[in-house]
Structure formats: structure tokens, C-alpha cells
Structure 1
Amino acid sequence: MTQNIELIGKISESQIGQRLDQALAECFSDYSRSRIKEWILADNVTLDGRVANKPREKVVGGESVVVRAALEEEVISRPQEIPLNIVYEDEHILVINKPADFVVHPGAGNHDGTVLNALLYHCPEIVSVPRAGIVHRLDKDTTGLMVVAKTVPAQTHLVAQLQAREITREYEAIALGTMTAGGLVDEPIGRHPQRRTHMAVTEIGKPAVTHYRIREKFRAHTRLRLRLETGRTHQIRVHMAHLGHPLVGDPLYSGRPRPVKGWSEELRNFLKQFKRQALHAAMLRLEHPITGEVMQWQAPIPTDMVKLTELLREDTQVHGMDY
């Protein structure tokens, strides 16, 4: 099945000096760099109105980009009867509370069993909406709230809100180390230069802003509330690791936690078995894309994070803050 697509974007100032195919792969991250290179070579890309057909061409920043191409679907996702925890639904949008170990969009090694497959079963007409209406993603093991558009107009408006930073997303997290105060991280994020599955703070990355405040301090951990201004891949995980306070259980950015003297066997074992990043999308606020009504939802903290918080609190009550 062939689909004609048009992608419109702009090269950011932070991408000055990058190869054209690299810059476009960052601008249009839903598509692989090899596919984008094919489009460039096929004269499907224009920069400021001129055809750009050399993948190695260096960008200067600020160029307007248009990609017009025929897209052959590599994988046709199929509907699957997978339960969804639906927090809200009307004829235009639905909001789900995603559990851990649930991939949002099919990809390499995950062609089935995703949120997208579940959406196609729950709402068959959503097949006509790009990416089955998925407006923003959560990592496989991040839990919490996601909004999905059921129609093209709804998706168009939600994407515009997201790009204008008008959708509020707040997260609960537990980080390693005792932090002294809240603050803001304003550091660009891009693909790690050596580890292609990792992201990193890098000068040539895209702008990324994370606000955080302390909810509770423990002997060797901190419970946080975070708010995203931007939505880069792994943003909270990368920014907290950059501060020296990676999230508990993060398989990519935290490393091995250092045991603390006096931990109970229960706490020690629980932390050892906590195999996902302790991150939960707890609050979502947006303007309804059709009615204009401001709407807000909350998702309760998942049981594994609640249990971890209780154990850390008990440990702190027994031993105090000194260790």
C-alpha cells in the first residue's frame, strides 16, 4: 500500500554543520535515516524552495524543509484485542493510562502487541489517522497518561498544541541521590555519538527544557515532580542523569546503584528487582482540539513506585538522613 506524504519542518540553529540526511533524520524522527537518504537522492526534498539531492550537504540552520514522497508501508499493523486502560474517551480523542512493559508504536523487534495494535482494534476508524492518532509517546517502561487523536482534525490541533508547548505533562519520578533543591534543566538533547540506542546532552541536539521540584527526600533517593516544556526522546531520563541523579531502575542511564549501609533486606531486594525507570506520567492538561475546553486528567502512581516510596520512607524514618 502506497501513501503520499508531505513533511514540513525547519532546520534548527543547533544543527548547523550537520549533514542534510542527519539533520532531517532528527527533524522527522518517525522515519529512518536510510529512508530519508533515499528521498534526498530521489529529489523529494527541498530546502528554502530549492531541490536538495545531496545527503552530504551541510545545513546552515534556519532552512525551511519540505519532503514530498510516496511511502510504501513496510509493516502493516494489525488490530489486536489488547486491553487499554481508558481514562477518557469521546468521538474526537481518548486518553489512556499506559502500564509498564507496553510498547507504544511498532518498531524493530516489536511489530505486534503495541498500543497502536490495541488502538486499531478498539477504534477501527483510527486507521485513517497517521500513526493511528498517537500524538506523543511514552517509553516502553514509563507508565501513565497519553492522549490519542481519533480523527485527523483532532490530531492536527493536538500536534499544534504540542509544538506550541501548550500541553502540560507532569511526571512523578524517583531519582538516585539526595537532591537539595528543585530547578530547571535547559540542555539540548540528541543522539549519543557512540551509543545509538542512547540519547545524550549534546551541543548539536534539539532544545530541551525540564522543570523539577522535590516532593520528598530519602537517605539516598529523592522523589520528584517534573514538568516537560519539550518532548525529546528520553528527555527526563537524560536530563536527570546529566544532573548526576539518574532515575531508579533506568536500564540505559543509571548504572548499578550503590547499596547504603543499614538498608533492610526487603528494600535491598526490591531495588535489585526494580527493572524499569521509576517514571510515571501523572498529569495531562490540554485544550480539547475540537471544543476548546481545557481538560485535565490524573493517573494514580503505579503500585511498584508506591511500594518503593514506602520502603524508602521507612528506611529514612529509622536511620535519618545521614549515611
Structure 2
Amino acid sequence: MSTTTTPPPRQKCIGLPWPELNDGLAYKDVVSSSDSELRTVLDFYSTKYKSSAPLLGWVQRIQNGQIQIDGEVVKDPTTLLRSGSKLVYHRLPWKEPDTPYSLEILYEDDDMIALNKPSGLQVLPGGLFQQRTLLTQLQWCFGNKEASHPVPVHRLGRGTSGILLCAKTKLAKTKLAAYFAEGTSLVGFGNLDQECGTGRKISKIYRALADGIVAIKQPIGVVRYPGVAKGLYVASPEGKPALSKVAVLERDMQRNCTLVKVEIQSGRPHQIRIHLAYMGHPLVGDPLYVAGGQPKCFDPNVVDAAAFAQDGGYRRPNQAVPGDCGYHLHAHQVELPNLLNPSKVVKVAAPLPPILQTRSEAEEEALYSCKLS
């Protein structure tokens, strides 16, 4: 099998500045016959979407005129519903948190694009980030091109930087998704060496800043967590299998941290953060996960029902949430078959942030910069 290594980055960047406010959102529902016990518009929203806002928050949203029934704005929370009614809730535009927008293209062919995602940029819409996402930038920058509508085929955490693969065609999306799914499906509870074999089609190598590390094989599951509607991923014996291979690159005794290389076969959410924390070595600066692979202390039953924002929704929780940044994790290298010619291998590398470079790598880069100048 021959190998195609990408040339040095072409320094081609895409990205448009974010507007001050996003466009808000519209959520559509149809009242079904099974919703017969939800007689009023307030009953409907405060019951079906209680994780979005408390009861008083939905009262506020209705009185603001943010709800339509069959195309008509209603402001009375006691307005009666009937089966088949079409409801629309308009979430008010808001200023999303400051977010980088520039994306460097590391590799591109007819089927895919490999981007260098900056830390702080969310990949897909969720929570406070509905417009300021990598997906939005792809839509803005490629939306007018008839033959190309690239979409991400996997995710990186908002605070994670590095390589993100995007498919340009439906066939490429299907193939890449299959590569990622195959790697995850191979992880079970059998022989570790067999699971770490070279049979999988895609290889993902990360850099991270942590402390003394060994190979980690710990299931990852979900627990209830305030501010995270679908629950928080943590180290859990009842969770799904997950495997990370970790190698120490360099220890810094003065800063009491270690630079590590991590290769993951499975792709569980926040896998590297959870696994390193599970072994007692959370990522330096991680605001959420602590030793044991669990979140910092919190009481999931304490929710301040009065603490809602201007449009009636819950305010951001006081405790850390998965999208918070501050840690150092970088998707450094990806290797996979060329989608048109599987006998060839494509290797993509994203430049390392200075804090994730070994001393020899930093010295080599400094020497290279001096030669250029």
C-alpha cells in the first residue's frame, strides 16, 4: 500500500466574521391526540420542554409573543389547544459567546476537506452556540457552490483543536462515517493487543498535556447533570466500551505535567478527557473532569427555578459544562485510505500549538523560522 503524505499547509484559510446577534431559532410542533391532557399552550410547553425553561419562564415567553398557534401569535398562557394545531416557538436572537471563526485548510481533494479547527469553536449547533459553529462557516463559505457542500463527519470538543474531516459528497460522507464506526465497533473487552491492531481503516492521534500515563480501557456512560439536557459523559462501568492508547512524550518536572500522545480507536464523547482523568491525570486546565473521570462536585437536584434569562430560559449553570475551554488537547494526525483509491493512504497533520510541542520540536521550529527570516 503506497502512502500519500500531504505537503506543508497551503496557508489557505476560510471563515467570515460573526454578526453581533444570531438570527434566533424557531421550534415547530404539532399537537397530537396523545397530547390531549396538555389542554393549554402553557401546559404543552412547560411539560414537554421543562428542561428549556421553568414554568414562569414559559409564561414570560408566551406573554412576550414568542408563541404562534396556526400562524397566529398568542399571549394568553391559558389559550386552549386542539389536536392538529401547529405550534411555533420563536427563541429571541442573542449574542453568542466570543468564538474564533478562521479555519485553515490542511488538505483537500474531490471528496473531503481536512480543516485545522481552533480551540473555542464548536463543530455543530448546541446550547448557546447555534450560529457560531464550524458547520455555519462551511455553509457560508461553500453554500453557493453547486457541487460541494462539505459537512463534518465526526466531532471535536469545543476546547479541542486540530484536524476535523469534512465530506464533500454523500458517498464520501457514507465512507468516512463507516471508517469511524468500524473503529469504535472493534472495541470490546477482549485482548488489548488485538483491539490495538492495525486492521482499522482510520488512525487518529492526539497531543495532550497531562501527568504520568498508562494505557486506558474504561467504559464511558451518561449521568444526569444540570445544564446538559442529554446528560454528561463520565467514566462508568455501565457505559459503552472505549479504548485509548497513551504514550509519554516528555515530562516537565517544574510544571508537574506530562506531554502525551494519545491514539483512540473508539470515539466516545470527551473520551480522552475522561480517560486521563479516570487514571488520576486530568488534562491540565480542564474545568470539568477531575481524578476518577467524574465532574467536579455538584448537586444535580439543586436548580434555581427563578434564575432564568430574558426570554425565560434557564441561565447558564454555575458549574462547568462540557463545552468550557481551558484544557490543552489537539487532534494532531489522521491517517486513512484515499476514498477514490483505497490502495493509497492519506496522512494529514495539523501544526502543533507551542504548549504541546516537545523541546526538540520547539527548537526545530525556531531554527526553521530563523532560516526563513
Residue matched to 2:204: 169
Give the structure 1 partner of residue 141 of structure 2: 122
Partner of 2:130: 111
- Indicate how the Cα distance of structure 1 residues 127 and 82 shifts in structure 2: closer, same or farther if over 3 A, else same: farther
Cα distance in 1, alignment partners of residues 341 and 141 from structure 2: 23
Q: Is the 8 A contact 2:158 2:325 kept in 1?
A: no
2:103 to 84, 92, 117: 84
Higher relative contact order (Cα pairs below 8 Å, separated by 6+ residues):
2
Q: Which amino acid aligns with 1:163?
A: A
Q: Which residue is 1:251 aligned to?
A: 287
More displaced 10-residue stretch of structure 1: 234-243 or 98-107: 98-107
Query: Which secondary structure does the structure 1 equivalent of 2:351 belong to?
Result: coil
**In structure 1, C-alpha distance between the alignment counterparts of 2:289 and 2:224, rounded to whole Å:** 15
Structure number with greater Rg is: 2
The one-letter code matched in structure 1 to 2:237 is: E
On the 8 A contact 1:170/1:225 being kept in 2, the answer is yes
Counterpart of 1:144 (choices 162, 165, 173) is 162
| Partner residue in 1 for 2:331 | 281
Q: For residues 239 and 282 of structure 1, do their structure 2 counterparts lie closer, same or farther at Cα, with a shift above 3 Å needed?
A: same
Would the aligned equivalents of 1:248 and 1:254 in 2 still touch at CA under 8 Å? no
**Residue of structure 1 equivalent to 2:237:** 203
Q: TM-score, normalised by structure 1?
A: 0.59
Map 1:182-221; keep pairs closer than 5 Å: 183-194=214-225, 196=228, 198-219=232-253, 220-221=256-257
Between 160-169 and 195-204, the greater mean CA deviation after superposition: 195-204
Shift of 1:155: 0.5
Deviations 1:47-102 (A, max 9, x none): xxxxxxxxxxxxxxxxxxxxxxxxxxx99xxxxx9532100112210000111111
List alignment gaps of at least 5 residues for structure 1. Answer: 1-34, 43-73, 76-80, 256-273, 314-323
Residue equivalent to 1:49 = none
Which residue identity does 2:103 align to in structure 1? Answer: L
Structure 2 CA distance, aligned partners of 1:91 and 1:103?
Answer: 25
1:302 aligns with 2:353: yes
Residues 259 and 356, structure 2, Cα contact 8 Å, conserved in 1: no
TM-score by length of 2: 0.51
Specify whether residues 125 and 243 from structure 1 end up closer, same or farther in structure 2 by C-alpha distance, changes over 3 A only: farther
Number of residue pairs the alignment of both structures matches: 214
State the 1:194 CA deviation. Answer: 4.6
How far apart are the structure 2 equivalents of 1:305 and 1:172? 7
Q: Does 1:94 align with 2:113?
A: yes
What is the DSSP-based 3-state SS (H/G/I as helix, E as strand, rest coil) of the residue aligned with 2:135?
A: helix
For the residue of structure 2 that corresponds to 1:85, the secondary structure is strand
Q: 1:125 to 1:100 in 2, by over 3 A?
A: same
Secondary structure class of the residue paired with 1:120: helix
Aligned to 1:225: 261
Give identity over the alignment, percent.
32
User: Secondary structure at 1:118's aligned position in 2?
Assistant: helix
Does the CA-based 8 Å contact 1:198-1:252 persist in structure 2? no
- 1:238 — aligned with what? 274
1:290, distance to aligned residue in structure 2 (A): 2.5
Please give the alpha-carbon distance, in whole angstroms, between the structure 1 residues aligned to 2:102 and 2:327: 23
Amino acid of the structure 1 residue aligned with 2:152: I
Q: Cα distance, 1:129 vs. partner?
A: 9.1
Change (3 A) 1:190 1:286: same
Q: Which amino acid aligns with 2:350?
A: A
**How far apart in 2 are the matches of 1:126 and 1:228?**
34
SS at match of 1:211: strand
Deviation at 1:186, TM superposition (A): 1.3
Which structure has the highest helix share of the two?
A: 1
